[in-house]
Amino acid sequence: GQQLNQSPQSMFIQEGEDVSMNCTSSSIFNTWLWYKQDPGEGPVLLIALYKAGELTSNGRLTAQFGITRKDSFLNISASIPSDVGIYFCAGRGAMNNNAGNMLTFGGGTRLMVKP
Protein backbone atom coordinates (compact mmCIF):
# COMPACT_ATOMS: atom_id res chain seq x y z
CA GLY A 1 0.00 0.00 0.00
CA GLN A 2 0.93 3.66 -0.15
CA GLN A 3 3.24 4.92 2.58
CA LEU A 4 3.89 8.41 3.87
CA ASN A 5 7.17 9.15 5.62
CA GLN A 6 6.81 12.07 8.00
CA SER A 7 9.68 13.83 9.71
CA PRO A 8 10.74 14.73 12.22
CA GLN A 9 9.02 12.33 14.60
CA SER A 10 9.19 14.88 17.38
CA MET A 11 10.34 18.42 18.00
CA PHE A 12 10.95 20.32 21.22
CA ILE A 13 11.20 24.03 20.56
CA GLN A 14 11.16 27.35 22.33
CA GLU A 15 8.05 29.50 22.16
CA GLY A 16 8.40 31.98 19.32
CA GLU A 17 10.48 29.71 17.12
CA ASP A 18 9.41 28.63 13.66
CA VAL A 19 8.73 24.96 12.96
CA SER A 20 8.94 22.93 9.79
CA MET A 21 7.85 19.36 9.15
CA ASN A 22 7.43 17.38 5.97
CA CYS A 23 6.06 14.27 4.39
CA THR A 24 7.39 12.31 1.47
CA SER A 25 6.07 9.39 -0.48
CA SER A 26 7.16 7.14 -3.29
CA SER A 27 3.62 7.42 -4.69
CA ILE A 28 1.85 10.36 -6.24
CA PHE A 29 -0.97 11.95 -4.27
CA ASN A 30 -3.78 14.12 -5.63
CA THR A 31 -4.49 15.77 -2.31
CA TRP A 32 -2.34 16.59 0.68
CA LEU A 33 -3.89 17.40 4.04
CA TRP A 34 -2.40 18.49 7.33
CA TYR A 35 -4.16 17.64 10.60
CA LYS A 36 -3.50 18.40 14.24
CA GLN A 37 -4.44 15.96 16.98
CA ASP A 38 -4.69 16.96 20.62
CA PRO A 39 -4.56 14.26 23.33
CA GLY A 40 -7.75 12.22 23.45
CA GLU A 41 -9.22 14.00 20.44
CA GLY A 42 -9.75 13.24 16.79
CA PRO A 43 -7.67 14.81 14.02
CA VAL A 44 -8.67 18.35 13.10
CA LEU A 45 -8.00 19.60 9.60
CA LEU A 46 -5.59 22.51 9.38
CA ILE A 47 -4.83 22.92 5.69
CA ALA A 48 -5.92 21.15 2.49
CA LEU A 49 -3.89 21.25 -0.74
CA TYR A 50 -5.27 20.17 -4.10
CA LYS A 51 -2.81 21.29 -6.77
CA ALA A 52 0.86 20.55 -7.29
CA GLY A 53 2.88 23.59 -6.30
CA GLU A 54 0.03 25.09 -4.29
CA LEU A 55 1.09 27.14 -1.27
CA THR A 56 -1.65 27.79 1.28
CA SER A 57 -1.70 29.64 4.58
CA ASN A 58 -3.98 29.44 7.57
CA GLY A 59 -2.91 32.05 10.09
CA ARG A 60 0.58 31.18 11.24
CA LEU A 61 0.51 27.91 9.32
CA THR A 62 1.74 27.54 5.77
CA ALA A 63 1.75 24.33 3.75
CA GLN A 64 2.86 23.46 0.26
CA PHE A 65 1.97 20.68 -2.16
CA GLY A 66 5.21 19.57 -3.78
CA ILE A 67 5.66 19.92 -7.51
CA THR A 68 6.37 16.21 -7.88
CA ARG A 69 3.10 15.46 -5.98
CA LYS A 70 5.14 13.17 -3.75
CA ASP A 71 5.79 15.54 -0.87
CA SER A 72 4.41 18.32 1.26
CA PHE A 73 5.63 20.50 4.07
CA LEU A 74 3.99 22.39 6.91
CA ASN A 75 5.53 25.44 8.53
CA ILE A 76 4.36 27.03 11.76
CA SER A 77 5.70 30.49 12.43
CA ALA A 78 6.19 32.08 15.84
CA SER A 79 5.07 29.02 17.78
CA ILE A 80 2.94 29.39 20.91
CA PRO A 81 2.22 26.90 23.70
CA SER A 82 -1.17 25.91 22.26
CA ASP A 83 0.59 24.63 19.13
CA VAL A 84 1.55 21.59 21.20
CA GLY A 85 0.13 18.40 19.75
CA ILE A 86 0.70 15.81 17.07
CA TYR A 87 0.66 16.94 13.46
CA PHE A 88 -0.22 14.46 10.76
CA CYS A 89 0.09 14.71 7.04
CA ALA A 90 -2.40 12.71 4.99
CA GLY A 91 -2.62 12.03 1.32
CA ARG A 92 -5.32 10.95 -1.02
CA GLY A 93 -3.88 8.82 -3.80
CA ALA A 94 -4.16 9.35 -7.50
CA MET A 95 -5.44 5.85 -8.07
CA ASN A 96 -8.43 6.10 -5.73
CA ASN A 97 -11.13 7.10 -8.15
CA ASN A 98 -14.12 5.86 -6.23
CA ALA A 99 -16.41 7.59 -3.81
CA GLY A 100 -14.57 6.43 -0.71
CA ASN A 101 -11.25 8.12 -1.27
CA MET A 102 -9.40 6.83 1.72
CA LEU A 103 -6.67 8.89 3.34
CA THR A 104 -3.19 7.56 4.02
CA PHE A 105 -1.67 9.15 7.11
CA GLY A 106 1.94 9.86 7.96
CA GLY A 107 3.42 8.75 11.25
CA GLY A 108 2.97 12.14 12.89
CA THR A 109 5.23 14.83 14.30
CA ARG A 110 4.91 15.41 18.03
CA LEU A 111 5.47 19.09 18.74
CA MET A 112 6.38 20.30 22.19
CA VAL A 113 6.72 24.03 22.88
CA LYS A 114 8.63 25.37 25.84
CA PRO A 115 7.18 28.65 27.14
Residue 19 or 33: the one with the smaller Cβ distance to another protein is 33
Choose which of 33, 61, 76, 113 interacts with another protein (CB under 8 A). Answer: 33
Verify binding: residue 74, another protein, rule CB under 8 A. Answer: no
Cis peptide upstream of residue 8 (ω within 30 degrees of 0):
yes
Verify binding: residue 112, another protein, rule CB under 8 A. Answer: no
Query: Are 103 and 88 a contacting pair, CB within 8 Å?
Result: no
- Site mask for another protein (CB under 8 A), range 40-59, x = bound: xxxxxx--x-x---------
